[in-house]
Structure 1
């Protein structure tokens, strides 16, 4: 239980070093998206990469070559899904959530908050983090696809064009916004 053999430790050191280099190469090859803020699909791929690396390190039943192929497969599939979602919008809606307007023109949108399981206190925290102390000064707070909250002050909202394709922000100009 505490110690099996020097050969096992040697295998972990040798295969672990090779697997580490492989992960770095795969992540660098797969691009920035693999390391960016995570949406649900990216998180699944990241967890799978970590699990695969752990299996390569600790299971003598898995060779380095098998593990390297598995890592490359996961990164390749992630790149393929990213490419397809960029080129075919319908796939994007399956892979990533749509951003959602939670707060508009100084007022919370209770239904959106409830649907997204977000509290007004979390919105207030995001507003404070953005450097504002007055909710009335906020034009919009958006729950982004990666789970972050974007805060747009009234002084910077412009024509609301940045909120195109944001759920709940489909209505016309700022004056037509619902509470």
Structure 2
């Protein structure tokens, strides 16, 4: 039992390291060859996990081989445009000038239902509002709305936009993040004062707190604390 636990732990760490080396893309952003490598690595790791009769090295070597192959292919596609086209393919124009390209749909085995679903994910509910729709190599679509159908920008409205930056998380599940607190220019005394205004006695009672780009504190108390 202990052997199975140790083998599983070792393979788990190796798979995590391999996936980390592959990059930070989400599943929906993976190229076809990257998705294939990810699936094969998980399958290669599962075999020696289940069968203790197989030497552990027989699972590790194929994983490292797949990782090396993935890195090599990524490097080649990075350096060569032709190789990148062969490996990853090219984007396909599904809608051009407001016209649906039926032939492209057939070539890509892509349905109108697939397109409509992705348009809805981009808050576009009428295909007539689309000027161009491009199917990217990772399966996602890029959309250019027709003139007058896109959301107005500050430039369009002739107004000055406000500066926006990511909020800084300072408390997560009761844990105070000292580094982020300094970065947010919030002192402990100021934080404690703000928490007192919200009738919160301690940072341990806070589920989540962050400081926005406007310097305002957003804070949510833990549910258990509220009940008490």
Range of TM-score over shorter length? 0.7 to 0.9
Q: What TM-score, normalized by structure 2, do the two folds share?
A: 0.58
8 Å contact kept, 2:48–2:54: yes
Query: Mean alpha-carbon deviation: is it higher for 91-100 or for 58-67?
Result: 58-67
User: Which string of whole-angstrom CA distances, capped at 9 and with x for unpartnered residues, describes residues 29-52 of structure 1?
Assistant: 333359672222112101110111
Change (3 A) 1:30 1:131: closer
Aligned length: 148
**Structure 1: where are the runs of 5+ without partners?**
1-8, 157-179
Query: How far, CA to CA, are the matches of 1:134 and 1:113 in structure 2?
Result: 18
- State the shift of 1:124 in Å: 2.3
Structure 2 residues without counterparts, runs of 5 or longer: 151-228
2:86 maps to 1:114: no
Out of 23, 45, 64, the residue aligned to residue 53 of structure 1 is 45
Q: Does 1:93 align with 2:85?
A: yes
Considering fraction of residues, name the structure with more strand.
2
Residue number among 8, 21, 27 corresponding to 1:16 in the alignment:
8
Q: Distance in 2 between matches of 1:55 and 1:36?
A: 26
Distance 2:25 2:54 in 1: 28
Partner SS for 1:146: coil
Coordinate RMSD, CA, aligned: 2.1
TM-score normalised over the length of structure 1: 0.73
In the other structure, the counterpart of 2:216 is none
Rg (Cα) greater in structure: 2
Which segments of structure 1 move beyond 4 Å, counting only runs of 4 or more? 33-36
